[in-house]
Chain A
Amino acid sequence: MPTKSIGEEFLKGFWKENPIFRQLLGMCPTLAVTNAMINGLAMGLATAFVLIFSSLVVSSIKKLIPSQVRIATYIVIIATFVTIADRFLAAFFPPISKNLGPYVPLIVVNCIILGRQEAFSSKNTVGRSLIDAFGMSLGFILGLLILSAIREILGFGTFFGFQVMGQWFKPWIIMILPPGAFITLGILLALALQIERKTKARR
């Protein structure tokens, strides 16, 4: 049964099993919405909301779900919370909802959420599933913020919309276009792998 302590369960989302840098999950929203930090944050929060509530529901009713139709059941549960998140953003934050566009509904097919239900919530207690969902969400938000900070600073010269680069700075337009997303993430992945290898070698 459970071998990890509660703290480890929470912290693993940040580095050891970070969804973006270590597991390479949820790549579409990661690349698509990180052209500005505010979009990255909104996406991260929406995904966190869906992940936490789906984990809560799935782990509470896991005994009632027949295993043959579990994936379909998870998808319907997830789609319900995504609809709530989508409608909420459209009602209260119309500009953000417009920026994110169809990427909010796309949270349904974000592999992080389905993956956590299948790999964790369907086998663990409600409490542990919630801790796991919180950790994973924070890890995901962290990843989105790092990527969008790099792209926004280089692409617009701003940080959360505030000018941080001086007049001399010419924005690198390419960073906010699709190629910038691919290249930045590629370099960040390599960096994460390098750090992991260095720490492993030291042990």
Chain B
Amino acid sequence: MEIIALFFSAILINNFVLHYFLGICPFLGVSKKIDSALSMGLAVTFVMSITAAVSWAINHWILIPYQLDYLQIVSFILVIASLVQLVEMFIRKISPPLYQALGIYLPLITTNCAIFFLALMAALKNYNFIETVIFGIGSGLGFTLAIILMAGIREQLDLADVPEALKGAGISLIVAGIMALAFLGFSGMIK
């Protein structure tokens, strides 16, 4: 039961984009088309679930037993960077069209704060292995949800008459604010 609550609260309540302000760069940059938003979201979810598992293993089998937890920051970032490289090579081999579609965004995942934050948060909250992986998948899906909603709104926004100065990032941030307001409504759902 607690696992289910954790999963849904990662998607809806503690949404990485709208509650923790993570992954704002792709959120503002990529999300103009629903298709590319979906593939970006899935790439992030994929990398997040793997990162969650690997960072848990490193934290619990290497860093904590040898009392090296001050190396957490350095080791997590290195793990993420090399994982993204691996995933990139893997996708290029397995599915060239998907690789084409993701383009520049895949390497950019390395500097996506959401992934790094996930590893830190799981270590901070002392989740066990299952919880960490569920948290990773849920957070990834939450990111996907937010970025797809945003893409849908922005497709419509192109047709709207927005004041010149607000165009681009300004109006996107205000839309994000209103979305965050809507998502606040979920916060009473799980105690």
Contact = CB atoms under 8 A, between A and B. Distances in A.
24 contacts: A28-B20, A32-B21, A83-B73, A87-B70, A102-B117, A102-B120, A105-B120, A106-B113, A108-B77, A109-B113, A111-B111, A177-B180, A179-B178, A179-B184, A182-B176, A182-B180, A183-B173, A183-B177, A186-B172, A189-B170, A190-B166, A193-B165, A193-B170, A197-B164
B172 to A, nearest CB: 7
Given A109-B116, A186-B170, A178 B18 contact: yes
A73 B171 CA distance: 37
Interface of B is mostly: helix
A179 B177 contact: yes
A133 B172 CA distance: 29
B36 interface: no
Interface in B133-178: 163-166, 169-174, 176-178
A79 B120 CA distance: 14
Interface stretch (B1-9, B22-30, B39-47, B86-94): B22-30
A190 B73 contact: no
Closest 4 CB pairs of A and B: A182-B177, A186-B173, A183-B177, A186-B174
A86 B173 contact: no
Given A178-B21, A182-B180, A76 B78 contact: yes
A72 interface: yes
A114 B111 contact: yes
Contacts of A31: 21, 24
Contact of B19 (A80, A105, A178): A178
A189 B169 contact: yes
A174 interface: yes
Contacts of B172: 186
Interface string A171-191: 000100111111101110111
A75 interface: yes
Nearest to A75: B77
B25 A111 contact: yes
A113 B10 CA distance: 29
A170 to B, nearest CB: 18
Name which of B19, B73, B178 has the most chain A CB atoms within 10 A of its CB: B73
Q: How many residues of B sit at the interface, in one of the four size bands?
A: 35 or more
B189 interface: no
Q: How many residues of A sit at the interface, in one of the four size bands?
A: 35 or more
Contacts of B124: 101-102
B63 interface: no
A185 B173 contact: yes
B181 A179 contact: yes
B104 interface: no
Interface in B46-83: 70-74, 77-78, 81
A94 to B, nearest CB: 15
Interface in A51-75: 72, 75
B157 to A, nearest CB: 13
B170 A28 contact: no
B73 A86 contact: yes
A114 to B, nearest CB: 7
A79 B77 contact: yes
A6 interface: no
A24 interface: yes
Interface string A146-172: 000000000000000000000000000
Contacts of B72: 105
A194 interface: yes
